[in-house]
Each structure stands twice: as C-alpha cells, then as structure tokens.
Chain A
Amino acid sequence: MEKFKTLNAIAAPLDLINIDTDMIIPKQFLKTIARTGLGRNLFDEMRYEQDGSEIADFVLNKEPYRSAEILIAGENFGCGSSREHAPWALLDFGIRCVIAPSFADIFFNNCFKNGILPIELPKADVDALMAASQNGANAKMTVDLEKQLITGPDGIEIAFDVDSFRKHCLIEGLDDIGLTLQKADKISAYEAKRDAQAWS
C-alpha cells in the first residue's frame, strides 16, 4: 500500500448526497479479477453517454478536475454495496482523499485498506471547501495527514480527526494482515478454546 503523508492536489466538487457505490463503479465493471484498470470507468454512468462519449458537464470531464486527487462530496458518501472496486476505481483514477460530511461504514473502512484517506468534516466546512474547489484554477488544496490539517485557497485552514491506528497504517503504508499475524499466538489460543464449544 502506498504511504499517505501530505497531498497537494486539485480537489473536485461533486455536490450530491448519498453517492452510492453503484454510482462510483457500476456492476458491469465488477467482473474483473484484477484491482487495477477501473479508473476509466469511475462514475461511468454519470461520466459517459451510452455511446461512450464524455458528458461535458460532469466534473471529472472538466479542467482542471481531470487531474483531481481529492474529491469533495455530500453526506453518506459510499453507501450501498461493499464492493472494494469503488475505492479501487477512485485510486486508479488518482483520487487519494475524499472529503464529505459523512460516509457509509464499509466504504469508509475499505478506503483505508487502499491508501485512500476519507475525511469526515462538519457540513459547514465541507461547504466551504466545496465552494473553494468550484473555483477552477483555485481548486488546489493541501491535506497534511501528520498535522491533520487541510489548507485551502484564500487562507482556509480546517483541522480533521482520524483514528490513530488507521493514521499510523496510512502514514507507514502498513499491511493489516502482516500486523495481525504478529498476534498469531493469541489467535491460536482463542481458537483452541472456541473450537471446543459445541456451538462454534
């Protein structure tokens, strides 16, 4: 997993609530057996006409947002299916950070497993960043994970919370499985007890 320390990048505004994982990556692209290559189909049905041509007013089809690495969205981002193809598609497009007033649990968790930082902020703060990001050339922001601080244009500074364990894993690019396997003895001890129970 790629480490996440500081990101200085274009932020794309996607001012919709309840963006679900079917919107992020429709099911026809879940037939892949790889993790990569999904970026082209990120937000496919909002981004392309049926004939494959671009829908001009969709944010990621506009400059400078084609090279966005931060996405700013409305509440309950990532609701619906557990498909990790959603963060894979975001990452493959180049998005490393999503900022929203709230996230669905499974999506939120899946982001951290892929080096994407989801940031939950009060709606007023998201609104301020959304407005700033709508301002074309001015849409560049810095997300500093170590300092837990977003610095936007026009002197915007917003602090954010992040779970300390997840922050540590992101900054170090740590693999969860490797960490868990360090507790193999505890797992074996639990398992021996558990397997002796009739109802396990």
Chain B
Amino acid sequence: MTNTTLYDKIWNAHLIDEQADGSCLIYIDRHLVHEVTSPQAFEGLRMTGRQVHAKNKTLALADHNIPTTDRTGGVHAIADLESRTQILKLEENCTEFGVPYIRMDDIRQGIVHVTGPEQGFTLPGLTIVCGDSHTSTHGAFGALAHGIGTSEVEHVLATQTLIQTKAKNFRINVVGTAPEYVTAKDIALAIIGEIGTAGGTGCVLEYAGPAIEALSMEGRMTLCNMSIEAGARAGLVAPDDKTFAYLKDRPLAPKGADWDAAVAYWQTLKSDDGAHFDREITIDASNLTPIVTWGTSPQDVVAITGKVPNPAHIEDTSRRQATERALAYMGLTADTPMQDVKIDRVFIGSCTNSRIEDLRVAAKIAEGRKVSPHVSAMVVPGSGLVKQQAEEEGLDQIFIKAGFEWREPGCSMCLAMNADKLEPGERCASTSNRNFEGRQGRGGRTHLVSPQMAAAAAIAGHFVDVRKMES
C-alpha cells in the first residue's frame, strides 16, 4: 500500500463498489436532516414505497426556519405559515419514517452543525452528509463530511449510500502562530482570499500545520465550515488529543472498551508522510490580521487596516465588472478605508461562529461597553446547550447590558429564512459565512468578520481594528 492521505483513508474505508468508469458507491455513516431540504426527499420515498434504510444513523431537527424570539407557544405559534408548515412537515415525516427527531423545545435543538458534534453524532473517520453545504463543518473531527442536494438526501435515506467520484487532495498548510485577535475565521477568509471561491472545486481540503493544531475544536469547525466558500465540498483536520477530549462522554460517542478501541483507530487517521497531494499551498498565520469582506463573494477580503478596492486597478474584464457590480450593490466607494464604513446591524451567530468559544470572545469585547446607538445587534447561540452554557457563565448578561439582543438558537439571519433579516440597504457586520447579494435579506449588505470583530464593530458603530480597542 502506498502512502495515503487522510481523505484517501476515509474514502477507502467506505468504498462499497467501484464501476469501470470511476463512479463509486460510498457508505454513509451519519445523515443529518433539516426541514428545508428534506420534504421532497421524504415525499419521494412515499411515492416509491421505500423506507429509511438506517434510522439510527439519521438525526433530524429544524434549524433554518425556526424563530429566535419567544417560543413558548410551540411550533403551532410560528407566525409565518410556510415556515410553520415546513417544520410540521419534518415532524410528521420523522414520525412516519421512524427517524430520530430533536424537537424545537428540546435543550439539544440547535443548528445541525452545532448539535451534531455536541451530541457525539459526529465522530472521526465517519462519512457524514446533510442537505446543507456547511456540512463541511464536521471535517474538523477528521470526518469526511459534505453537503448534498435533496435527490441525494432521498438516496441516502433509502440506501445509506451515495454515488460519488473521488475528489482531489488539496493540502493547506498553515504555519506560524496566529497573532492575538486573528481567529480561525480570519484564517478561513485569508485562505478563500488566496485561492478564490472556486479554488477548491473538485477537491477535499486538508488543513494542516502548527496554526491548525493550535486551534480549538470550535476554531477547527469554523475553518472547515468555510471550506465550501472556497469551492471544496469538504475540509478535513486530522483528529488529535483535542478532538478526543471534546468527544469523550458525549451522549452518542462510544463508551468504555469501545471508546478505547475507537481512539486507537482514530489515532491512525492522518496523512502519511510522503502522501501525494494534487495541490498544496502554505500560508503563514503570523502575517495575518483581522479580516473583513468588502464585496458580495467570500473571496472579497481585505485586512481591517485596508481599503475598499478600486476597480480601475483590475485588468481582467469580468473581475473588474464583478467588482463594480459588488461595490454598487454594497454602496461602497473605491479606496474608502474599511474602518470608515459605518454599520447598521450586527449578527453574531450561524454554524460558522455560534459556539461557546465564539460567544466568550465576543462577550469579552462587549463587557462594560455599549452598542453604538445607531446599531442594532443580536447574538444567536448555535444550540440550546450553547445558550445554557453561556447563561451559566453570565455571557447573556454581558451582552444584554451592552445592548445586544440575546436570542433562541437557530440559523437566523445567516440566511434570513425566519423573521431575522436585513432591510434593503442595511449594512451588517456578520459572523456568518456568505455575503452574497440578498443573502441576509433583499438589498442587505453583509460584511463577514470574526466574532470579536463583529462585537467591536457593534460598539464602535463602524468597522474597527479590534486589536486597537482599549481594554
């Protein structure tokens, strides 16, 4: 056996069948299901008289549509008829097909990509899918995890497999030590800025190097989450002692002798020395600064100390036109210093940055300060358990005293499917993952930042270099 990459190892361990044309049948260990991309899949099963193949490898919950305000009235009290229908449909489908379902009033409810790891549903070496592109998040545990469409959701429900072709191996080495206030989010944005939103197309990214090893599990989840913004369906970090410590005693993690056997196996999950990568780049984390996006693509990044780009300096016609279009949409003038850009809204949340560590660092910035009078700011924890933990630590009180709204868990304003959205022209400092046109509400203007940078912008009323804030 030649030297293999981490991706090769997981792939090989899940290969059921390979056709002569390279089309492969891959076993899927875990399937997360949510309300937006599943109704048509269940309908397909119903129409063909098929069953869910492996109920215990499937876990469903609603996250995209649910309100983040008071939920005491339950699902039936959700004002938006279509949102309510979609959640009720998920409940109905899970009952009919026997799929484990976490209800809205359950403390474990949250964003699928927060709840999955929290429950130990996510484990190293597994294949994990979900009808959501940010499934790449789970790669932080050394699991091969990626988003799928609804037809594939139906395929996995019916067969617990997927038809795939093998992707290329792309290693991103992040060396050096990230300076204070340079977070996993900044590393992710720097990588996307470097390789572009199509840079990882057709590849599985493996993040490696000392700056990756230094990241917490939360940080690794933030980083792997953004892999899809670089065009890669999946990102991976080799599991290590931090991974095992995070997973130990999680409700769905192996226990006792099984745990020991699992850890022994997980320790083998790393790329061999000399393994072949189709592409490899190196980034020095010690050179990075906090980053903010200026445009309508996650690759539109600039250091907080930088300026809005000037299209006149871009030679490539389609790039120049795309930049002009983005600046017009974003209401920005070329060469404006980013720190002069005023904001209206702040969103701290999403599957990218809503875990306990994200809330802790944002609270640290907010503590003893006040949100700027012209800014409306909200914090949306990633799950009921994150919310509970934050409240035990008093983080909710810090945010509330500073003037942030403290909400119930869900996807919320990351994609604005519920009532949380930007009004046309509103500008938002957001810890989410996409700054596409209309993403957070029609005409809304999204700037992607880390939780610290979002909290700092909320206080200042404009983008600000969090490193320069007086403590």
Contact = CB atoms under 8 A, between A and B. Distances in A.
Interface of A: 15-18, 20, 22-23, 26-28, 30-35, 45, 50, 74-76, 79-84, 87, 102-106, 109-110, 113-114, 163-165, 176-177, 179-181, 183, 186-187, 190-191, 194, 197-200
Interface string B38-54: 01100100001010001
B222 interface: no
B220 interface: no
Contacts of A176: 151, 155, 163
B155 A31 contact: no
A191 to B, nearest CB: 7
Given A102-B201, A199-B266, A82 B132 contact: yes
Nearest to B151: A113
Given A102-B198, A177-B50, A187-B160, A26 B442 contact: yes
13 contacts: A30-B64, A33-B43, A50-B443, A76-B231, A82-B132, A84-B150, A105-B232, A110-B152, A177-B48, A177-B159, A183-B25, A198-B259, A199-B126
Contacts of A20: 297, 434, 436
Interface stretch (B69-77, B78-86, B281-289): B78-86
A30 B148 CA distance: 15
Given A18-B198, A30-B36, A76-B231, 13 more contacts: A31-B417, A35-B150, A45-B438, A82-B131, A82-B135, A104-B231, A105-B232, A109-B152, A113-B151, A165-B23, A177-B155, A177-B159, A199-B261
Interface string B162-177: 0101000000000000
A180 B25 contact: yes
Contact of B133 (A81, A114, A187, A198): A81
A183 B16 contact: yes
Interface in B297-354: 297, 318-319, 322, 325
A119 to B, nearest CB: 16
A185 B133 CA distance: 31
A163 B21 contact: yes
A83 B37 contact: yes
Most buried by A among B124, B416, B442: B442
Contacts of A187: 16, 25, 27, 159-161
A164 B21 CA distance: 7
A33 B56 CA distance: 24
A106 B133 contact: yes
Contact of B158 (A50, A104, A181): A181
Interface of B: 16-17, 19, 21, 23, 25, 27, 29, 36-37, 39-40, 43, 48, 50, 54, 64-65, 80, 82-83, 85-86, 89, 123-126, 131-133, 135, 146-152, 154-155, 158-161, 163, 165, 197-198, 201-202, 228, 231-233, 254, 257-259, 261-262, 265-266, 297, 318-319, 322, 325, 415-417, 424, 434, 436-439, 442-443
Contacts, number: 184
A167 to B, nearest CB: 10
B149 A80 contact: no
Nearest to B202: A105
B201 A104 contact: yes
Contacts of B125: 199
B277 to A, nearest CB: 18
Contacts of B27: 187, 190-191, 194
Listed from nearest, the 3 A-B pairs whose CB atoms lie closest are: A113-B151, A31-B82, A82-B147
Nearest to B438: A45
A79 B443 CA distance: 19
B155 A76 contact: no
A192 to B, nearest CB: 11
Contacts of B29: 194, 200
Nearest to B27: A190
B442 A45 contact: yes
Contacts of A50: 424, 442-443
A84 B149 contact: yes
A109 B162 CA distance: 12
A159 B417 CA distance: 41
Contacts of A197: 265
A28 B266 contact: no
Contacts of B83: 31
A22 B439 contact: yes
Contacts of B155: 176-177, 180
A198 B23 CA distance: 29
A75 B198 contact: yes
A199 B254 contact: yes
Given A82-B149, A114-B151, A177-B154, A76 B201 contact: yes
B318 A106 contact: no
A33 B254 contact: no
A136 B437 CA distance: 28
Contacts of B19: 165
Contacts of A165: 19, 21, 23
A50 B424 CA distance: 10
Contacts of B132: 81-82
Contacts of A183: 16-17, 25
A79 B54 CA distance: 31
Contacts of A104: 198, 201, 231
Given A20-B436, A104-B231, A198 B261 contact: yes
Contacts of B325: 16
Contacts of B197: 18, 76, 79
Contact of A74 (B202, B228, B318): B318
A23 B417 contact: no
A155 to B, nearest CB: 26
B270 to A, nearest CB: 15
Of the listed residues B149, B155, B261, the one surrounded by the most CB atoms of chain A closer than 10 A to its CB is B149
